[in-house]
Amino acid sequence: MSAVVPGAAGEGASLGGRPARLATGVISAGRVGAVLGAALAQAGHIVVGASAVSAASRRRAEELLPDVPLLPPDQVAQRADLVVLAVPDDVLPGLVRGLVATGSLRAGQIVAHTSGALGVSVLRPATEVGVLPVALHPAMTFTGRAEDLQRLTTCSVAVTADADEPGTPAAGGMGWHVGEALVVELGAEPVRVPEEARPLYHAALTHGANHLMTLVGDCLELLESSGVRESRRLLGPLLGAALDNALRHGDRALTGPVSRGDAGTVRRHLDVLSEAAPRVVPAYRLLAARTADRAERAGLLPPHAAHDVRTALDEEDR
């Protein structure tokens, strides 16, 4: 893969086999921005500035971006060929408009944001002054520590750029090639996600990753409150195997009382949860109902058994 970066340091340099040395600015040095800045530096780019407001961001910059000057966002953008906008979704539109209004962005720059839910349309004001817009979203959770650099090399990164037609990534579009080349330089795997798919793409990842953490947290608290020791060691192999089976085999890998049609066990679960952890009951019911739907659709759960499970889940007299 090779792409020529317009206006980059070393005009006409390639982002293919031998990386162009892009002057890179990071706005801001949060958990994602600091790690991406460090990863780009490892790939041969030169981080010329970063913005950091909070004490935590300044500490991350000191650890992951040593000797990189901390500057206001407009000055970071003015110094850079590649501007990485790693800010919260709600902040991004105003930041882009502000950088354009102050003249901090110029034609020929690459501007990449890291929002999962937004595509390149949020960069439209910058596109109108001649920048190359790219949306890069690493599909991983960030701690903001050096360990993330290794994790980044094993993850996929959603790439979105301008398309020739709505819904169709342009096969020869400069933005797609540049975005994918940057991802490959990071050691990650690029995955093309069309503009209009970004909200549902992000909802799916959030539902899986973030809600999984909530689910695991609830399970750990239940085990610890019951007096079970080493709850993390107990859950780790079980959850790891469940995730691996789900990714490999889909709904055919479903196990447990719901997929077996064991309505009596489901009732006992609801009884004990109602006493020990009533706040967990609504989530248990919803997830068990979805499990019953999926198990029945996969042919694991006969219709009459699915009915019994749903009846148990719907009973309110507990």
pTM of the model: 0.86
Give the pLDDT of residue 164.
46
- 121 and 170 housed in the same domain: yes
Structure tokens at 17: 């086999």
- Displacement of CA 317 from its chain's centroid (Å): 41
CB-based burial, 7-32: b 16+ in 10 Å, e otherwise: ebbeeebbbeeebbebbbbbbbbbbb
In a domain, 16, yes or no: no
- 30 and 85 housed in the same domain: yes
Of 176, 193, 210, which closes a domain? 193
Q: Supply the range of the domain harboring residue 279.
A: 200-314
- Displacement of CA 268 from its chain's centroid (Å): 37
- 146 and 30 housed in the same domain: yes
Give the pLDDT of residue 162.
85
- 183 and 223 housed in the same domain: no
Give the pLDDT of residue 316.
60
Give the pLDDT of residue 151.
95
- 169 and 59 housed in the same domain: yes
DSSP letter for 105, please: -
Q: Give the CATH number, domain containing residue 136.
A: 3.40.50.720
- 275 and 166 housed in the same domain: no
Count of domains for the chain: 2
Task: State the SS3 of 68-96.
Answer: CCECCHHHHHHHCCEEEECCCCCCHHHHH
Is residue 236 within 8 Å of residue 219, measured between CB atoms? no
- 153 and 100 housed in the same domain: yes
- 292 and 173 housed in the same domain: no
- 86 and 208 housed in the same domain: no
Give the pLDDT of residue 173.
85
In a domain, 18, yes or no: no
Per-residue confidence of the chain (318 residues) as pLDDT tens digits?
Answer: 333 344 444 443 455 444 579 999 999 999 999 999 999 999 999 999 999 999 999 999 999 999 999 999 999 999 999 999 999 999 999 999 999 999 999 999 999 999 999 999 999 999 999 999 999 999 999 999 999 999 999 999 999 998 644 444 444 489 999 999 999 999 999 999 999 999 999 999 999 999 999 999 999 999 999 999 999 999 999 999 999 999 999 999 999 999 999 999 999 999 999 999 999 999 999 999 999 999 999 999 999 999 999 999 998 654
In a domain, 7, yes or no: no
In a domain, 8, yes or no: no
Of 126, 158, 193, which closes a domain? 193
- 156 and 228 housed in the same domain: no
